[in-house]
């Protein structure tokens, strides 16, 4: 294709995955997105190797702290109230990672503070 035949589309590619410079990383406390995994609602908006369909779990009596990292001493982002539905996206050992909704907040909760799956 000659320069005269180039269209605006070939000069300035468009779409969700255009390599046009550094991508702005969303706040990991507000968007359920990690380098390896994202909420299924973010498919087509963010590119990651895996997308997860959330598995809702109910917060047990007494509530649960939502933490920035999977560590009891991590920064406490908020307190989930008894009966809240928490969207679990990943479970590893005694921790789950997820969100209250696709708009956040996002963090880690101890598995024993959520209703068990039968």
What is the CATH number for 63? 2.30.30.40
**Residue 118: pLDDT band with limits 50, 70, 90:** low
DSSP class of residue 71 equals S
**pLDDT score, position 71:** 97
**Residue 25: pLDDT band with limits 50, 70, 90:** confident
In a domain, 20, yes or no: no
pLDDT (average), residues 89-99: 97
Range of the domain at 62: 28-113
Output the six-digit token pair for 36: 């390896």
In a domain, 54, yes or no: yes
Nearest of 41, 38, 115 to residue 84 by alpha carbon: 115
pLDDT surpasses 90 at 36: yes
The domain total for the chain is: 1
Report the alpha-carbon distance of residue 115 to residue 102 in Å, rounded.
20
**Residue 12: pLDDT band with limits 50, 70, 90:** low
**pLDDT score, position 99:** 98
In a domain, 94, yes or no: yes
In a domain, 42, yes or no: yes
In a domain, 23, yes or no: no
Which pTM does this prediction carry? 0.81
């Amino acid at each position: 294709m000659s320069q005269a035949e180039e269209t605006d589309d070939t000069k300035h590619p468009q779409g969700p995955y255009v390599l046009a410079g550094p991508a702005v990383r969303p706040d990991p406390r507000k968007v359920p997105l990690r380098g390896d995994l994202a909420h299924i609602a973010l498919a087509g908006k963010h590119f990651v190797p895996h997308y997860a369909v959330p598995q809702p779990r109910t917060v047990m009596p007494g509530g649960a702290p939502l933490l920035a990292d999977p560590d009891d001493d991590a920064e406490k982002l908020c307190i989930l109230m008894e009966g809240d539905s928490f969207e679990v996206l990943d479970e590893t050992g005694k921790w789950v990672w997820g969100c209250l909704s696709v708009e956040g907040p996002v963090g880690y909760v101890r598995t024993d503070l959520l209703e068990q799956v039968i």
